């Protein structure tokens, strides 16, 4: 397959740029994919298993006049990052990358006393190891002046939901990765930042949020703004960090929790 999409035909603050959004077909990832495409970027919509969701996201982007393509690869295992980039190169004819959004992640509801070693290792493999090696393997594709944006969590800074201790630990490690990698890549003009959502209304959280009116009200009460967040509100911040407007921001942790932290 040849290079996908003609960048010169698009307009917007990200026109002419190529972005990869991991987990880009659902939830926050879909919101980010659609927003970056609306801003003019050609977007690789990565997915691990839900091909239908990724293709629906690509179709929505294209119907709105944007450019996107699906990219499948499981994450967290040996060689997964290299395999993803090999497929990316094939689909783009080696055109390179400007924006990497490490959004793909998994969660757990198992509390400290019950989480298994296998589940713990899988959490770190997908949430922490995968972004590390995607960035490492992607450096030869990422152009100078590029952007790496990691999707963290408000739970990495506050014990709001201590039952999610292992998940929060993966995001805490991701924050350290963001901070230190920003120093490593600074000489190339590449910025590295984290965005930290709170409770967001997605297909992944829908069952919990909509279990009852009380469940929704309790989730909304976490935020100082008094409601549950939406994917587009995280996507707007990612879009800012992907743009030239954020050129003097790197190594930062951006609170996108609606004021949910103590």
- The 10s digit of each residue's pLDDT in 36-87 is 999 999 999 999 999 999 999 999 999 999 999 999 999 999 999 999 999 9
Q: Is residue 167 annotated as a catalytic residue, yes or no?
A: yes
Which among 133, 167, 177, 240 is annotated as catalytic? 167
| Contact residues for 47 (Cβ-Cβ < 8 A; gap 6+) | 23, 24, 25, 26, 53, 54, 70, 71, 72
Question: Of 91, 124, 93, which is closest to residue 107 (Cα–Cα)?
Answer: 124
Query: What is the model's pTM?
Result: 0.93
Task: State residue 7's pLDDT score.
Answer: 41
pLDDT at site 199:
84
Determine the pLDDT at residue 90: 97
Q: What integer pLDDT is reported at residue 8 of this predicted model?
A: 41
Q: What angle do CA 21, 25, 26 make, to 5 degrees?
A: 110
pLDDT of amino acid 206:
66
The pLDDT of residue 150: 98
Quick one: fold of 12-202+232-252? Rossmann fold (3.40.50)
Tokens 């630990």 belong to 169
Low-confidence ranges of the chain (pLDDT < 70): 1-10, 206
**How many Å is the maximal CA-CA distance in the chain?**
55
d(CA 218, CA 249): 34
Amino acid 22: pLDDT: 98
């Amino acid at each position: 397959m040849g290079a996908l999409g003609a960048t010169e035909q698009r307009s917007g603050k990200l026109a002419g740029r190529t972005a990869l959004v991991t987990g880009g077909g659902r939830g926050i990832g879909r919101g980010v994919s659609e927003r970056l495409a609306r801003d003019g970027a050609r977007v690789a919509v990565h997915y691990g298993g839900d091909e239908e969701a990724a293709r629906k996201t690509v179709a929505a982007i294209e119907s709105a006049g944007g450019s996107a393509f699906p990219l499948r690869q499981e994450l967290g295992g040996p060689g997964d990052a290299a395999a993803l980039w090999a497929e990316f190169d094939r689909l783009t004819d080696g055109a390179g990358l400007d924006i990497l959004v490490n959004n793909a992640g998994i969660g757990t509801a198992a509390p400290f006393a019950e989480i298994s070693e296998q589940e713990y290792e899988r959490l770190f493999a997908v949430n922490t190891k995968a972004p590390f090696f995607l960035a490492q393997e992607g450096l030869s594709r990422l152009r100078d002046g590029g952007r790496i944006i990691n999707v963290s969590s408000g739970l990495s800074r506050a014990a709001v939901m201590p039952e999610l201790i292992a998940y929060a630990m993966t995001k805490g490690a991701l924050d350290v990765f963001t901070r230190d990698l920003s120093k490593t890549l600074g000489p190339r003009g590449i910025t590295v930042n984290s965005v930290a959502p709170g409770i967001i209304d997605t297909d992944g959280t829908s069952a919990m949020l909509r279990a009852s009116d009380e469940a929704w009200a309790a989730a909304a009460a976490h935020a100082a703004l008094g409601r549950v967040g939406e994917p587009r509100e995280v996507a707007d911040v990612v879009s800012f960090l992907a743009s030239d407007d954020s050129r003097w921001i790197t190594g930062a942790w951006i609170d996108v929790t609606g004021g949910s932290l103590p």
